[in-house]
A and B are shown apart, each in its own frame.
Chain A
Amino acid sequence: MTRRPTLRVWALVPALALVLAGCGDDGGDGGGAAGSGGPELVNEGKLTNCTGLPYKPFEYEENGEVIGFDVELVDLIADKLGVEQEIIDTPFDGIQSGADFNSGKCDISAAGMTINDKRKQNIDFSDPYFDATQALVTKKGSGIGDITQLDGKKLGAQNSTTGFDYANENAKGAEIINFEDLGLLLTAVESGQVDAGINDNGVLYDWVKEKTDFEVVKEFDTGEQYGMGVRKGNTALLDVVNEVLAEARSSGEYDRIYEKWFGTKPSAN
């Protein structure tokens, strides 16, 4: 019996840990590299990039490394800041709702993300760095040529993307299946779980290069442009991003990277 009070004291340990954790949090709030005069970063010495993998050829993993068009562009920005890029793979809804920036998870998002008004309410965009349209992919010989021919059929789209919105507006007769990421969407197209898939043209053309049974049957002239996202009001970082993008375009670096990932030079516009 004499030992019981001692034992009870142990019950306090978790509570104490909580208190300490609470204090630690409090102290760490003002973190970031403010001293160097550059933009504040959520992780000192790192430019943290929130993106959604896989989104080939913009960002995807190969041999344990995340590579791609977006990744190389962000590397240019990281170089400018004199830091390393760190990539966090995260669901797209967290990026476009601004939650990932507001919660201090990342500084920037280069995720093949179209600039649109809905997203502008939540995050700030860089200057456009890529032109894209929506496109429809389907199995060769399926007879499907357009989004209007999908009545009663299943059309796969990716959650929180402009393709998902486009499908909901334009494929009224189709049953739209909402997938978590591009990989799951394309697997479903391949396995016949859906009759067709909608996504940005860049990634779909890249996919059908390998999956020769499938083809991109239609592009919809949605005139979209990709931009990199930052936390709303983070003009310090945004200025650097825009500066780097402009420099890359004028120096020919942008064209080189573009050709590396898409096999062609960017059309002049």
Chain B
Amino acid sequence: MSYFLDMLLGRLDWDALPFWKMLQEPTTFNIINGTIVTGAASMVVLGGLALVALITWFGKWRVLWSDWLTSVDHKKIGIMFIVVAFVMLARAIIEAVFMRAQQSVGLGGGFLSAEHFGEFFSTHGTIMIFFMAMPFLTGVINYIMPLQIGARDLSFPVMNSISLALTAAGAVLVMVSLVLTPFSTGGWSGYPPFTESPYSPGAGVDYWIWAVTLSTLSSTMTGINFAVTIYKKRAPGMHLMRMPLFCWTALTTAILMIFGMPPLTVATALLALDRYLDFHFFTTDLGGNMMNYVNLFWAFGHPEVYILILPAFGVFSEIFSTFSGKRIYGYKTLVIATISIAALSFTVWLHHFFTMGQDASINAVFGIATMLIGIPTGVKIYDWMLTMYRGRVRLTIPMVYAIGFIMLFVIGGLTGIILANPSIDYQVHNTLFLVAHFHNMLVPGMLFGMLAGYNYWFPKAFGYRLNERWGYRAAYSWIIGFILAFFPLYALGLLGMPRRTVAFLEPAYLPWTIVAGIGALVVLFALFSLIMQLGVSIRRRVTYAVPIGDPWDGFSLEWSTSSPPPEYNFPVIPQIASRDPFRSEKDSGQAYQRPEEYGNIEMPANSALGPVLAVVSFLMTFGLVWYMWWLVIGSGLMGLAALVGRSFVRRTTRIISADEVRRTHESWLDQVARAKAITRADERDTTNQGLAASPVEGAVQ
């Protein structure tokens, strides 16, 4: 019997339950930590149960399955990616608040155990990079890019659904690690030999390895999908040099995903071989060499940074142009800068380990390469400022994020140039200065960009604008909270406080950690405001409706279709004659035209392959984590069977009749005819139905 149980459960034991240790050794300290973990675990379990109950109560299972989970529509997949990102964002922010709280009382102790703190910074980093940032930008690109290039979908819609499935499975795996503990304490970068089995024998590192592996595979496929779509599916006349800048950044990000993800796949796979099959890649004995892990990890890690930041640059380019009422300044230089940043990003990875012991000349080469990236980035900053210059700047929510970004990002960039100097890096390496630097790049850069994009494109995706009051509160508290939470870390780093420290003995740190703790609370309020914003907006969706689809007087193609767009995006594929095609159409009075004739549209049919693979890949990785080999083999075979079975399917598309397309389009055109065009002064008013009045004569364009 016990043999059978061992087979069934692998190494899963009572210890895995979050409250087990607290019951075994009920010291105050254990009870505090145990309660926190148990609370988190119950939130996961109760949240999951509540979700199931709600869906059943409202009878939405069928809708969920046929309209969402099996859908291969790039718009729905994009939205689902962003939902994953928001859920994970909430969790990772709460973890950050716990860490800041611990450090603000961390003089000589604090309330978190070192193990627990280690799990916090490991999950926080892993989630923020792989399950918040990546799904967020993937979701936004997924939704917007095909609309901007005039395509009906991505090149490989089913593969897109599989990408979502793998990311979702990885996210669920990280969530499950809260209930069946522990997670890795090796940080988001998982350096061996600490993460090798002699030093981290439990399931924690394995959770990390497989969650990251799922995310990596997902992103590789996403990258291929985006790149092929942009190469092969642009509307006629949409030359590369006519693409909106967001599409350019999507293309470069895709290329970085294609070539930047493999090193991580290799690094985590070799670490897994070490842990599972007793290989010796990164062990301390028998010819292993942990330095190669660091090398491989950052050969991924640096391109990754630009995978995260470039799409945000794209979003900001769109926003600066739209809300300044001007075409973007220096389009070509922005394109060239984007490409240069992408190319340079492959040549700088060593700056993450200047102190490992290689020659000074190698450090110098990589240091100089790193500083070079400042040049194209500077070009971008100037182009954005010159876009605003003499424009009619409207301080909308996306614009608040954008201006906050410019100011904060420049500071973060300057600290980056400082860190690129190996001799300075030797001093502040592994301190909170570094933590401040990369948060200073990624929060204003990546996160503000995505939130700005979310506010900017939400009306496109759902047909109504987001609430302004809570939106401004969120934006300003993000900016203020960020400054309070991270600028003190620069000081702490210079004072010598190491990163990932649970407690400290130096009283001089305390004032700074307290300020940072207050900043974390402001960020928590920002998160609350985002939730309120969404809630209030959903309740007032009729008041905020912008069905015509152009609430901001936009420039690019996505604004030329209804909000939300029909499944096939465009009734007829547009012919592109210039950059900023929709602007040109509006200027020449050619917008909202009835096409001469409508044709049948062939769209990809729904597929259950995505959800099936989501379940299969979750079960397989879960089995791997807990050594349940029957589960690994069983789910592996199921996955193979699903893939082979799918390859026999031949009817993968369905036809939407010309008649239906015509009816939908004509009813929308009637709405356009009835709607009242508004000027930019009324943009944030409820009279905004998404139809823009032509600009005042003589206004700067």
A-B complex is real:
no
Q: Give me the interface of A with B, judged by CB distance under 8 Å.
A: none
